[in-house]
Chain A
């Protein structure tokens, strides 16, 4: 395997939570060459002018992105992506509206991939009703439990009390998993977070341009082992929604460390070392 492992993000959430909107946006104005895996092309809305080639279960876009229909065998779809001459820079798997994202995220451990985490979208206007539904309530709750980061969508459609009730529901089910509102949070930009920020003199630097979030950089090192690195990134406060950096250990090895919500992943890399960029809820 000559390529660095491809990061995989799983996006879950019940019907109507906004997964398709997110998928369409990432495909059409994606800033990285992303492979988006969906259950069914039917819901994907790609401008014909942006389509370079359609081949069975794969649509190639002019911007380098590719959209794949999963069919019956997710492993095979991932194998085929790994076999592409130019593999994508990241993979986004859209879980079906009733799927538990956890077993899907397990596929991100196939050699050549690495699991960046699971983002679950929650429709603020429907969450309470769905969670109590006799048929799908437990499916909905299991999605919350599987999430590393929860994004509440359509919060502008409901009043303040409802938002608080939804956030309370999430806290009860998913504990300390960070929760953000989509109106204030750009998932796509977050996934794309550049790790090439130059090192600065002070060990911690705050950027205070956003109302809801603070971006800070943390100088990490020098560390002896990957375990030490993992323990540091895991022990960052639970209001961290995203972190990324290239950290060198004493043996000279470089590690791309990422955190999405509560999920920490570490992969070897050849990239230049950087500070750790951290986005937190204020």
Chain B
């Protein structure tokens, strides 16, 4: 073989390579040079570029494009620093899995173990607790008093709208005498330890702050990368980044991502709600950051939040409304202001992702994009309805015509599917929640997300949820909205990259693109569809640099 001046590079062989490029969907070798993909095909094709270095460490692995996650938060790994007390097992950045808490007794035992390790007087703050899954007496301060009568204990629930605290904490802040709404009382008129909504939770000032600050620490930022790498994600979005409004934060992210050991590209999305009137300045700022940043900190999109959540009854849902419960639907910005808020970003050529859980908000956003496209003929905007959980077929047709995308919250089908069926929206609409099948039939481009830390990150899980649509009780929620593994695979890779305006760089294994690869133990296409989420992730490659997933499991 003739060596060329560019003979450096590595050819990786694999049991199978799935490219997410229908032009060449599978291969058995891939050549990497200068962090980019030089060739995809068989080993001879790859070596023909003059490369002698053939690496066989992945010979029994399945290589796929690094997964692209369009909706997470930088504090996705918050349960590494807060004691985890949720029902579902929770993977952590160090590779261990915090086991699920399946009863009040298990909760007490978990907290007792932590109590013994904490210094005197330091509050114990736990999170992720979800009594929806526990078929027993609701947690009160009396249970937590069994852990400690002296140390304040604050157990944040999974929905982040409730906390249960012990008597020591109630006494610390004299909550016993507070007339604040949200302080739940028992039959005798004494607080039972449950604090509902952030206002009541903030009565416990130090513990409330501890929760917020644990979410925003340097450690949390570093762990974000590890957590994403562990599930094969190579590009992850931080939705509500401060980079565009705080230079110190930008410098910190730039420094962190410039380290070759940092294993993930971050799409940093400014949160329009936080600075609504300065859109054009921020759009300018984002363009200037794009010129100053590296290839692991990217600014292709911004984000706006329009409503609340379905399970929190704060989504804006049209007639016939909430199934069983009180509608607390709320717009976070007025519908009539949406065009004005989005205009500077659309005009500057920045993609816009808008959080719409209810169908009313999806409609408001779609109408706003129609107006924006009339004003500024940018046809390649790919503006994305994120969550889009209740989007209707009519809305999908219009969104398709306008060149929009959806980013479905597929994990909801598993994590809250039964609650949507029985409580929030009722059986009928629960069947069409996160309607990937309809989106395929209509031709609306879509992706999935985990919204971590709301659910654990991992596209093998979102794919599994969208392909099977099963719930913990064993229902198949909307069989006609199930999709093929092939569609799910594209949604988790190239179609996710498309809606982030990054499909020329990542999301598929094609010549010239960045060498971002997920290394899997098995092939999602050929395993039992119900086992897709159980496929092991060996690690990733990011721009040609190999990153091993942590395996700290005891």
Residues in chain A within 8 A of chain B (CB atoms): 14-15, 39-43, 71-76, 78-79, 96-100, 102-104, 106-107, 109-111, 135-136, 138-139
Asked if A97 contacts B334 (CB within 8 A), the reply is yes
B327 to chain A: which residues have CB within 8 Å?
138
Residue of B nearest to A100 (CB): B330
Asked if B199 contacts A139 (CB within 8 A), the reply is no
Asked if B331 contacts A109 (CB within 8 A), the reply is no
Asked if B212 contacts A106 (CB within 8 A), the reply is no
A136 to chain B: which residues have CB within 8 Å?
331, 334-335
- A-B CB proximity, top 6 nearest: A42-B277, A109-B180, A106-B199, A75-B202, A98-B331, A107-B199
The segment out of B13-21, B139-147, B203-211, B472-480 that lies at the interface is B203-211
Pick the residue among B181, B277, B328, B337 that contacts A106 (CB under 8 A): B181
Asked if B203 contacts A110 (CB within 8 A), the reply is yes
Asked if A72 contacts B274 (CB within 8 A), the reply is yes
Asked if A106 contacts B178 (CB within 8 A), the reply is no
Known contacts A40-B276, A42-B277, A73-B212; A98/B330 CB under 8 A: yes
| Nearest-Cβ distance from residue A182 to partner chain B, whole angstroms | 21
A75 to chain B: which residues have CB within 8 Å?
198-199, 202, 205, 208
Asked if B180 contacts A106 (CB within 8 A), the reply is yes
Pick the residue among A15, A74, A79, A104 that contacts B337 (CB under 8 A): A15
Asked if A96 contacts B333 (CB within 8 A), the reply is yes
Residue of A nearest to B321 (CB): A138
* Given pairs A109-B179, A110-B199, 7 additional interface contacts (CB within 8 A): A98-B330, A98-B331, A103-B197, A106-B200, A110-B203, A135-B364, A136-B334
B203 to chain A: which residues have CB within 8 Å?
109-111
C-alpha spacing A139/B328, complex, angstroms: 9
Residue of B nearest to A111 (CB): B173
A139 to chain B: which residues have CB within 8 Å?
330-331
**Interface residues on chain B, number (Cβ under 8 Å):** 38
Asked if B277 contacts A103 (CB within 8 A), the reply is no
Asked if B212 contacts A76 (CB within 8 A), the reply is yes
Pick the residue among B181, B205, B240 that contacts A79 (CB under 8 A): B205
Asked if A109 contacts B274 (CB within 8 A), the reply is no
Asked if B199 contacts A103 (CB within 8 A), the reply is yes
Asked if B209 contacts A109 (CB within 8 A), the reply is no
In the complex, B260 has a CB within 8 A of chain A = no
| Nearest-Cβ distance from residue B370 to partner chain A, whole angstroms | 16
Residue of B nearest to A266 (CB): B179
C-alpha spacing A71/B275, complex, angstroms: 8
Asked if B277 contacts A98 (CB within 8 A), the reply is no
B278 to chain A: which residues have CB within 8 Å?
42
A78 to chain B: which residues have CB within 8 Å?
202
Asked if A111 contacts B174 (CB within 8 A), the reply is yes
Residue of A nearest to B316 (CB): A135
In the complex, B404 has a CB within 8 A of chain A = no
Q: Can you list 22 A-B pairs with a CB-CB distance of less than 8 A?
A: A40-B276, A42-B275, A42-B276, A42-B277, A71-B274, A72-B271, A73-B212, A97-B334, A98-B331, A98-B332, A100-B330, A106-B181, A106-B197, A109-B180, A109-B181, A109-B199, A110-B199, A110-B202, A110-B205, A111-B173, A135-B316, A135-B335
C-alpha spacing A106/B364, complex, angstroms: 29
| Nearest-Cβ distance from residue A42 to partner chain B, whole angstroms | 2
Residue of B nearest to A44 (CB): B277
C-alpha spacing A110/B173, complex, angstroms: 9
In the complex, B186 has a CB within 8 A of chain A = no
Asked if B277 contacts A43 (CB within 8 A), the reply is yes
Residue of A nearest to B202 (CB): A75
B178 to chain A: which residues have CB within 8 Å?
109, 111
In the complex, B259 has a CB within 8 A of chain A = no
C-alpha spacing A109/B181, complex, angstroms: 8
8 Å CB interface, B319-341 against A: 327-337
B329 to chain A: which residues have CB within 8 Å?
138
C-alpha spacing A96/B208, complex, angstroms: 24
In the complex, B360 has a CB within 8 A of chain A = yes
Identify which of B275, B333, B334, B337 gathers the most chain A CB atoms within 10 Å of its CB: B334
Asked if A40 contacts B334 (CB within 8 A), the reply is no
A14 to chain B: which residues have CB within 8 Å?
334
C-alpha spacing A104/B336, complex, angstroms: 23
In the complex, B99 has a CB within 8 A of chain A = no
C-alpha spacing A109/B335, complex, angstroms: 31
In the complex, B182 has a CB within 8 A of chain A = yes
| Nearest-Cβ distance from residue B138 to partner chain A, whole angstroms | 21
8 Å CB interface, B179-197 against A: 179-182, 197
Residue of A nearest to B327 (CB): A138
B181 to chain A: which residues have CB within 8 Å?
102, 106, 109
| Nearest-Cβ distance from residue B21 to partner chain A, whole angstroms | 40
Identify which of A72, A104, A135 gathers the most chain B CB atoms within 10 Å of its CB: A135
C-alpha spacing A104/B197, complex, angstroms: 10
| Nearest-Cβ distance from residue A72 to partner chain B, whole angstroms | 6
C-alpha spacing A234/B220, complex, angstroms: 50
A110 to chain B: which residues have CB within 8 Å?
199, 202-203, 205
Residue of A nearest to B183 (CB): A109
C-alpha spacing A97/B332, complex, angstroms: 9
A41 to chain B: which residues have CB within 8 Å?
277
| Nearest-Cβ distance from residue B197 to partner chain A, whole angstroms | 6
| Nearest-Cβ distance from residue A8 to partner chain B, whole angstroms | 11
Residue of B nearest to A14 (CB): B334
B271 to chain A: which residues have CB within 8 Å?
72
A109 to chain B: which residues have CB within 8 Å?
178-181, 199-200, 203
Known contacts A76-B209, A100-B330; A15/B199 CB under 8 A: no
Known contacts A75-B199, A103-B199; A135/B208 CB under 8 A: no
Identify which of B202, B203, B328 gathers the most chain A CB atoms within 10 Å of its CB: B202
C-alpha spacing A97/B333, complex, angstroms: 8
| Nearest-Cβ distance from residue A260 to partner chain B, whole angstroms | 16
Identify which of B173, B199, B200, B203 gathers the most chain A CB atoms within 10 Å of its CB: B199
B202 to chain A: which residues have CB within 8 Å?
75, 78-79, 107, 110
| Nearest-Cβ distance from residue A237 to partner chain B, whole angstroms | 24
Pick the residue among A39, A102, A111 that contacts B276 (CB under 8 A): A39
